[in-house]
Amino acid sequence: MSSPSLTLGYVPGGTPAKWARIWAERHRETPLVLHAVTAAGAADAVRAGTVDVALLRLPADTTGLAVIALYEETTVAVVPTDHVLTAADEIAAADLDGEPMLLPLDDVVGWADAPGAPVDYRPETTEGAIELVATGMGALIVPQSLARLYHRKDLTYRPITDAPTCQVALVFPAGEQPELVEEFIGIVRGRKASSSRGQAEPAPKRSAREKTLAKQAARAAAGKVARKAGPAKRGRR
């Protein structure tokens, strides 16, 4: 009988390392299997049971899945290192007007009115588009994590300040979850190892006024106790 495990799918540029490390610390005898999936196939992999949970980018077809939004990625433009746009640390969408732009078939940004002039040829993958940027065919708009993943010495990237961000989310089958999935969700949400979903919520913090009133009441009570405990005064002779 095989030992239990949890399989986490992640799209290119996904960064599950932090959660995998925490999982290994808390569940030494239950391995977390990392399984690379394509952007287009990530949600299907969860629905098919190939992976238990998946780290993917939205928008995506999440029919039948529960979704937890995690963070947003900065959108950048990838260009050759000698490109004029590298003169600034960041650019605006208007700076790309008229610039030849590559749009791969697996584009994950989904920017409907993206700037630039799309080139006729659409490479199949973002990785392939990166290669074409290096030849000078055009620039490429991607999430920053993909620009880092496919980094080349002859290319660089610049954040686009007014571009839409790319939402990263954790997805898993909708409904009641197995214990291991619940444990992983807790890690992703920052739940401490000693905490439990069934524990009572901590008492709410008191306001400054409530703290002041409590101190005043404590002083008054202490004064009464002191007066009661003190020696009786002698009367005059």
82 found inside a domain: yes
pLDDT, tens digit, for every residue of 38-49?
999 999 999 999
134 found inside a domain: yes
pLDDT-derived band at 201 (thresholds 50, 70, 90) equals very low
What contacts 24+ positions apart, CB below 8 Å, involve 100-103? 100/137, 100/138, 100/139, 101/138, 101/139, 101/140, 101/141, 102/129, 102/132, 102/133, 102/137, 102/138, 102/139, 102/140, 103/129
CB-based contact 87:206 (threshold 8 Å): no
**Do residues 98 and 52 both lie within one domain?**
no
pLDDT, tens digit, for every residue of 211-232?
666 666 656 655 544 444 455 4
Domain that holds residue 182: 6-72+167-188
Q: Is 164 exposed, middle or buried (0-12, 13-18, 19+ CB in 10 A)?
A: middle
Q: Give me the CATH number covering residue 118.
A: 3.40.190.10
Task: For residue 16, count other CB atoms closer than 10 A to its CB.
Answer: 19
CB-based contact 177:46 (threshold 8 Å): no
Q: Which residue has the higher pLDDT, 215 or 61?
A: 61
Q: How far apart are CA 127 and CA 147, in angstroms?
A: 9
**What letter would DSSP give residue 30?**
S
Task: Report the pLDDT value the prediction gives residue 193, as an integer from 0 to 100.
Answer: 76
For the chain, give the mean pLDDT. Answer: 87
pTM above 0.85, yes or no: no
**Do residues 180 and 154 both lie within one domain?**
no
**Do residues 44 and 61 both lie within one domain?**
yes
Sheet hosting strand 53-58, strand order edge to edge: 32-36, 6-10, 53-58, 166-173, 65-73
Q: Which residue has the higher pLDDT, 232 or 140?
A: 140
Average pLDDT in the 54-82 region?
96
1 found inside a domain: no
Query: Of 110, 141, 159, which one is at a domain's C-terminal end?
Result: 159
For 130, 150, 179, 201, the CA distances from 16, given in Å and listed in that order, are 23, 17, 20, 29
**Do residues 33 and 108 both lie within one domain?**
no
Average pLDDT in the 96-114 region?
95
Strand-strand pairing, 53-58 and 166-173? antiparallel
**Do residues 10 and 123 both lie within one domain?**
no
**Do residues 66 and 99 both lie within one domain?**
no
CA quadruple 17, 18, 24, 27: dihedral, nearest 10: -130
Q: How far apart are CA 51 and CA 41, in angstroms?
A: 11
For 63, 66, 76, the CA distances from 181, given in Å and listed in that order, are 19, 12, 33
CB-based contact 131:152 (threshold 8 Å): no
Query: Of 143, 159, 175, which one is at a domain's C-terminal end?
Result: 159
In sequence order, what are the beta bridge partners of 8?
A: 34, 53
pLDDT, tens digit, for every residue of 116-135?
999 999 999 999 999 999 99
pLDDT-derived band at 237 (thresholds 50, 70, 90) equals very low
Q: How far apart are CA 83 and CA 15, in angstroms?
A: 29
227 found inside a domain: no
**Do residues 151 and 83 both lie within one domain?**
yes
Number of domains in the chain: 2
Distance of CA 188 to the CA centre of its chain: 9
pLDDT, tens digit, for every residue of 2-27?
678 999 999 999 999 999 999 999 99
**Do residues 62 and 178 both lie within one domain?**
yes
Task: Report the pLDDT value the prediction gives residue 54, as an integer from 0 to 100.
Answer: 98
228 found inside a domain: no
98 found inside a domain: yes
**Do residues 82 and 148 both lie within one domain?**
yes
pLDDT, tens digit, for every residue of 151-193?
999 999 999 999 999 999 999 999 999 999 999 999 999 888 7
